[in-house]
Structure 1
């Protein structure tokens, strides 16, 4: 390999990080939720529903799945951090956290240091609780 970076990598280094990643939340047929990250939400949803090869083992036995919420316009590291945060939230708050993040606006999100500087109590006060359909027995 040569010492030169590929054109798309050079472009991202010159102009800052490329913000093409999305965090998505799926509602499975059994009433459970699944959270993931991707660069193409529609393609990934087709994978989860078995229309394309791939998809998570978790969703294979819980089809059909539908898109419950999605937030885009992030770098990969931002998307992975948001996914980890959503997975730690109780079920009732997962959709609300993701929707609150997406309504902040991709260009107007607080910097990571600003978000990390908030206390857990103030973070919880900002995000309204979501109503999630009851789980079938």
Structure 2
């Protein structure tokens, strides 16, 4: 059901990347194709014990890959920390790992499997009753996302 009391505004789009630390890659090797992920430890985003599948692209086809691994978390910062500690491969949004990718603390794996970009939306109450501080924050986010590449 659509809630007409809310407004969504697209801020940007982001890539979802497969990432690992150089230490993990040095110890376990670089996967060369999708099937190779089965031989690697994955850091899994999950709700309880329900693993969220990774959305990947093989050629022109979108595929869903259910990662395996013993580290399950519902927190993006935990995923980031686990990657940096060399605990495995994760699928993460670019904005979460951008600094680490640019500094060499993390590297992108299997870039040909990268799925379509995912939109980032800001959702807020519609109408004229939006408090001024919320409007100012919305404009700040719009401006900030316009200056950065996600």
Which range, TM-score by smaller chain?
under 0.3
More strand by share: 2
Q: TM-score, normalised by structure 1?
A: 0.22
More helix by share: 1
Q: TM-score, normalised by structure 2?
A: 0.20
Larger radius of gyration: 2
